[in-house]
Homo-oligomer: A and B are copies of this chain.
Amino acid sequence: MTGTAQNERILISAPGKVILFGEHSVVYQKTAVAASLGLKSYLFFEKRKDDLIQLVLPDVGIERNWRLSEIPLRFDYPDSDTRHPNDMPTELKARLVELSGPTIKDSQIQALMAFLYLLIIMESKAEKPLVHGLTVCVRSFLPVSAGLGSSASYSVAIATALLLLNNKIPFDFNSRSDRELYLETINTYAFKAEEVIHGNPSGVDNAIATFGGAKTFMRGEGFATLEGFKSLRLLLTNTKVPRSTSALVAGVSVKRKKYPEIVEPILDSMHGIAIRCRDAFKKLQNEELDTESLMDEIEDLVTLNHCLLDGLGVSHPSLEKVRSITAQSGLKTKLTGAGGGGCAVTFIRDDVSQELINQVMLKLQLEGFDCYQTSVGGTGADAVMLNKDETDKWLLEASRETLEKYF
């Protein structure tokens, strides 16, 4: 297995995720559809000549340097595969908290803890101890706390980097015939990191950030690859209106209890929408549906799902504004995630001109929204070798467009 030689620089990318259909109804055992988002996290990784472990996370405002000797890399932790990180030995936990400190924001501690935890569980089982340090720098183009899987994207990126460091996967894992096995390994470790960050994650976000494409999922039933999923163009608009996911989920729960005869059928309809999306791509794959008809269906499903969510009270004037602006150009929009603000996705048919897209984006930006032209359903985790010139400083300054060209 080819690892990364000393002084090799690697760029890793891992996508975010977006819920296409079934937010909220998924809470009530209905099917949802999520897909990888073209907005990604990018990780620069390089072995160092000194003994420093350097972690640079500009998006969460962190730059840390630890000496190898500070970190309990050879910690005796044989059952790390089966234990939940919450149940890690007290002694280890105390040490990780200490290394993550001094007291900082929860989100910063979580990012540091996830990295250190993965590093230790891998190194504790490594044949050879780590003698040189490394630099890891991660940049993310994913809005945080927006339901776009930014933490999973980070988790997948660090898992990939540390597996490369330990020669558990080759840097060109995506070109190998046993690609799926490597991705499974990445996903397993990424899930561990997600457990450190979220406690009890569903595993959907990291699976999508690892494998790419789209997945259907249902509470208690796990998730399944959505066969035949075709990458779709999308505008992602962040209204930047803050909201509380738990309050929105609770609001729907209150409505369902108060109006079961009205809300239950709405949830059934949402389930129908997700299933219909799944079946449409299957039909596309089996050539029972052409691309044009698929686009028509997606547009219908987007409108239907958004209106049902609006009925449940989880839209917001800002989201309706996005819907109305895009509708003026014939584009269909739905909220994505919890709603009540946050993000909206606007589906872009193949035949829509770049000129029209630019006009719509300008209108949305003039309303104060952040707007990204991107795609869903693309590849998951990926890695490329960099030139010597491309350092962690280069990563910090590179534009999204520049970075996207590497993959």
Contact = CB atoms under 8 A, between A and B. Distances in A.
Interface in A278-325: 300-301, 303-304, 306-308, 310-311, 313, 317, 320, 324
A401 interface: no
Contact of A324 (B258, B308, B317): B317
A261 interface: yes
B269 A265 contact: yes
Max count, chain B CB within 10 A of own CB: residue among A262, A263, A268, A313: A262
Nearest to A255: B300
B259 A265 contact: no
Contacts of A327: 317
Interface of A: 255, 258-259, 261-263, 265-266, 268-269, 272-273, 275-276, 300-301, 303-304, 306-308, 310-311, 313, 317, 320, 324, 327-328
Contacts of A311: 303-304, 306-308, 311
A346 B306 CA distance: 22
Contacts of A300: 255, 258-259
Contacts of A276: 259, 261-262
Given A262-B269, A269-B266, A313 B320 contact: no
A269 to B, nearest CB: 4
B261 A272 contact: yes
Contacts of A301: 262
Nearest to A320: B324
B304 A307 contact: no
A299 to B, nearest CB: 11
A273 to B, nearest CB: 6
B265 A265 contact: yes
A74 B277 CA distance: 67
5 contacts: A262-B276, A265-B269, A304-B311, A306-B311, A307-B307
Contacts of A258: 300
Contacts of A266: 265-266, 269, 304, 308
Contact of A272 (B255, B265, B307): B265
A300 B254 CA distance: 12
A252 to B, nearest CB: 12
The 9 closest A-B pairs by CB, nearest first: A307-B311, A261-B272, A265-B265, A265-B269, A262-B272, A265-B268, A307-B310, A304-B311, A307-B307
Contacts of A275: 261
Nearest to A296: B258
A200 to B, nearest CB: 31
Nearest to A304: B311
Contacts of A259: 272, 276, 300, 304
A207 B299 CA distance: 41
A360 to B, nearest CB: 15
A387 to B, nearest CB: 51
A301 B266 CA distance: 13
Nearest to A308: B311
A320 B322 CA distance: 13
Contacts of A307: 307-308, 310-311
A268 B327 CA distance: 28
Contacts of A328: 317
B272 A304 contact: no
A153 B181 CA distance: 74
